[in-house]
Chain A
Amino acid sequence: MKKLKILNLKKAQSLATAHSIKLSEDTLDQKERANGFFQEVGDMALFIKQIFKETFSRNFEFKEFLRQCYEIGNKSLPLIIITGTIMGLVLTIQSRPAMAKFGAVTMLPGMVAVSLIREIGPIITALICAGKIGSGMGAELGSMKVTEQIDAMEVSATNPIRYLVVTRVLAATLMLPILVLFADAFGFIGSWIGVNIKGDVSLVLYIFQAFGSITFLDFFPALVKTFLFGAVIGIVGCYKGFTAGRGTESVGKAANAAVVLSSLLIIIVDMIAVQITDMLS
């Protein structure tokens, strides 16, 4: 009996030790994860600081900047046009029954225009660009990192942040508002088609009704936030590509992380921008 008690005590002690080791390991894991998160935030802050520093330095890579504007702007345009048109069409078709209930079908162009300009145009375009441009940047720079092309650039006395990152971030920041304008414009066309499915409104009348509902306060804050969306896509895409690990697997991870993080940040920036706009108006 006495022996059994000792055995039980030993068993309890060993269980307690194992449990305590597991707790310590869990604590260490959590600590490492927390450290990793704060380290990444710090690294990204330093990366943004470097971008600002190189943006205003001499020897700006203008030719590469124009090439990136073409890559980002021109090559994303067909996708944005198609999406914008469908966005306007679907929004109109979906909103019509609700508007009809209140006998406000004539207000449909105005309602769709305000929705497109203030929110749907910028956010949908930004999310599509996060997928297309952000993943492209993450994969391209990640691949350049893995195949030592970024190192080669650095060794040839060319600053890779200035050549690769600044040009891409500025191009994305500048091109996204333009793409949003295209998305809005084609959204109006889609909406006009939607209105005409069950009605008969001329394009001129539609545009008159739509633009009659939009004020400067609808348009300006939305335009400002699209610059921020562009900057977020550029910075996150380049950061994830630039900090990709070694091996081809990390290229895929960089592209994926670029899309996920930039999409999340776009939604957060949008939420903040909406709050600020609401306070100001």
Chain B
Amino acid sequence: MKNSQETNTDTISEEKYTSEVLIDIKNLKKSFGRLEVLKDISLKLRNGENLVVLGKSGSGKSVLIKCIVRLLNPDGGSINLLGKEVNSIKGKELSEIREKIGFLFQSGALYDSMTVKQNLEFPLVRIKKDLKEAEINKKINEVLENVGLADVLEKMPSELSGGMRKRISLARSIILDPVIMLYDEPTTGLDPVTSDEISELINSVQKKYKTSSIIITHDIACVRITADRIIMLHEGHVYAEGTLAEFEASDDPLIMSFFK
């Protein structure tokens, strides 16, 4: 296992993913007033991998991925996303790069006033404007099938269970065929069985859509199912980095408190 200064990931199997770096974060800093949430974060996401970011509540995990898509503006450091410096782009260029990223929000963030179908076609009709209705319907059915749901098209989000909302939200995130998936606590608020189903779904989406993912979580069951590599955040820094096996074998008290 590496400490915070060593970001080299050469201990991980090279079979699953290539060395191409899709996200390269260096010395990221973010504060809210006097509260420094991210003090100095550096990490890389490589093509094809599932990178789990682990940490206690309030350790800045969600802030980190919101900085990646510029929902929050970092105070310092750099984020290179698919070859572009996120902090220096705006307008159309930022929209174009966001189209390549799927974001699953902790709450699902389905639009309450729209049906499932309207939720799914919302990004599609705005970004792929030349698609015909038959093609849109085909794409919607395809993503619904991939998340294991059918016959919910005309339902409102309020009529769905927590697990179903997560699946629909995931379907909406993958409908634009993203290159990178960002999951913000995908299993929070779900029962253990549904949590495992969602975690399996993350792996299945990765295989089908060839995505690379950053998964923010503190759910160890989810970590065990999805993680290729793990980074632990603590007090605004990268506390530890390594594989699942290395984390499970660690005798560090903080890491053990998660994996016991």
A residues bordering B, Cβ < 8 Å? 140, 143-144, 147-149, 151-158
Contact = CB atoms under 8 A, between A and B. Distances in A.
B130 interface: no
Given A149-B112, A151-B71, A157 B105 contact: no
B122 A158 contact: yes
B23 to A, nearest CB: 15
Given A151-B71, A152-B103, A157 B127 contact: yes
Given A148-B105, A148-B106, A151-B105, A156 B126 contact: yes
Interface residues of B, number: 23
B259 interface: no
Given A143-B112, A149-B112, A151-B71, A157 B106 contact: no
B123 interface: yes
Nearest to A156: B123
Contacts of B126: 156-158
B117 to A, nearest CB: 15
Nearest to A71: B113
B111 interface: yes
A130 B123 CA distance: 32
Interface in B70-122: 71, 95-96, 98-99, 101, 103, 105-107, 109-113, 122
A156 B122 contact: yes
Interface of B: 66, 69, 71, 95-96, 98-99, 101, 103, 105-107, 109-113, 122-123, 126-127, 172, 176
B71 A157 contact: no
B109 A148 contact: yes
A157 B69 contact: no
A147 B107 contact: yes
A155 B71 contact: yes
B109 A157 contact: no
A152 B109 contact: yes
A156 B169 CA distance: 12
A148 B169 CA distance: 12
A119 B139 CA distance: 55
A156 B109 CA distance: 12
14 contacts: A140-B113, A147-B107, A148-B107, A149-B109, A149-B110, A151-B109, A152-B103, A153-B111, A154-B71, A155-B98, A156-B172, A157-B98, A157-B99, A157-B123
Contact of A156 (B98, B106, B107, B113): B98
Contacts of B71: 151, 154-155
Nearest to A157: B95
B141 to A, nearest CB: 19
